Amino acid sequence: MPDRPLVSAVVPCLNEEQSLPRLRERLVPVLEALGTWQILLVDDGSTDGTLDVMRAMHTEDPRIQYVSFSRNFGHEAASTAGLAHATGTWVVLIDADLQDPPEVIAELLARGQEGFDVVTARRRARAGERMTKKLTSALFYRALALAVSDFELPLDTGDFRILSRRAVDGFNRMPERNRFVRGMIAWSGFRTSEVVYDREARVAGETKYGPLQLVALALDAMTGFSTVPLRLSSWLGFAITGFAALGAMVVVVQRLFFGLDIEGYAFQTVSMLFLGGVQLLMLGLLGEYVGRIYEEVKRRPLYLVAESTAGRPEGVD
């Protein structure tokens, strides 16, 4: 593509009517200083005036394009659609809330042009976030890093990063439905570097990732990239069997050698409840994997586009 822009900025959006004008004010000057550019806004089924703002922006400047879903398909699907439709030599993933400063993009691009295909932005500080949010995020990244052993997952990094064209093309070849975008990019194995920055406070709206959403994302990530949860059932089985055998030996010794009467009603009740809980937990984990197999074999599209100015995705005839 001889007219391919140097940089495409992909912006997933959900109810970002107030944030988008402010994002444009800061993002466009940064991209102008870098060269030719494209901004690709992805509307993930917003219920406010987000789509109307996107239309107005595109009318004023055709370099600002948008893809609008038929309904809410989730942030990971929105990021995937943006990467599929982006045409730039380099593609930046950035959220609309301005917590990730657009001014860092120049540093990301400069580092990428040193010979890296992926440059992540690692958070040094997180302004405007509650302690519970910071704690759950830190636990999320570290638990996931422990579960994923086949590749290195960068700590304290969100989706804010820049990708080379070949890294984007590699990502677009991954067909799975249950997606964890930052994990899929890390799995690709392209040469990676990082830039450290201070995260700013959100300019408008509310975060879309509360504690429950982080737990759901962690579960998707762990079951999508690791079999550790399944192995956990085997480890617990061995441990419980060992404790049960030890308990049985204690009971036999006390009865045969010391003549003690063992009243074990409380112990038996607690043991049964514990074993029942473990079994249900393991069945639930197994069900998560089976459910993902079920989702994959249906082969439904990851998202449906209701309106778009971005043309057809890259690599689609």
pLDDT tens digit sequence for 64-78? 999 999 999 989 999
Q: How many residues does the chain have?
A: 317
131 three-state secondary structure: helix
**Cα dihedral across residues 277, 292, 80, 301: positive or negative:** negative
* Chain centroid, CA 198 distance in Å: 20
Encoded amino acid at 247, one letter: G
> Is residue 251 pLDDT above 90, yes or no?
no
* Chain centroid, CA 107 distance in Å: 23
User: Would you state the pLDDT for residue 291?
Assistant: 75
Per-residue confidence band for 157, with pLDDT thresholds at 50, 70 and 90: confident
DSSP string across 52-118: HHHHHHHHH-TTEEEEEESS---HHHHHHHHHHH---SEEEE--TTSSS-GGGHHHHHHHHTTT-SE
As to burial, measured by CB atoms within 10 angstroms (0-12 exposed, 13-18 middle, 19+ buried), residue 91 is buried
pLDDT tens digit sequence for 108-128? 999 999 999 999 998 887 665
CA gap 12, 14 in Å, rounded: 7
User: Would you state the pLDDT for residue 283?
Assistant: 76
Q: Is the pTM of this model over 0.85?
A: no
CA gap 141, 134 in Å, rounded: 11
Query: Inter-axis angle of helices 50-60 and 19-34, to 10 degrees?
Result: 30
Per-residue confidence band for 199, with pLDDT thresholds at 50, 70 and 90: confident
> Is residue 265 pLDDT above 60, yes or no?
no
Per-residue confidence band for 273, with pLDDT thresholds at 50, 70 and 90: low
User: Would you state the pLDDT for residue 317?
Assistant: 42
CA gap 42, 308 in Å, rounded: 9
Q: Of all helices (H) and strands (E), which one includes residue 42? A: strand 37-43
> Is residue 49 pLDDT above 90, yes or no?
yes
CA gap 20, 135 in Å, rounded: 28
User: Would you state the pLDDT for residue 296?
Assistant: 76
CA gap 105, 39 in Å, rounded: 13
Domain 7-226+300-308: what homologous superfamily?
Answer: Spore Coat Polysaccharide Biosynthesis Protein SpsA; Chain A (3.90.550.10)
Token duo for residue 82: 């943006």
Strand partners, 235: none
Q: What is the mean predicted confidence (pLDDT) over 164-177?
A: 92
Token duo for residue 183: 């994990």
**Kind of pairing, strands 157-164 and 90-93?**
antiparallel
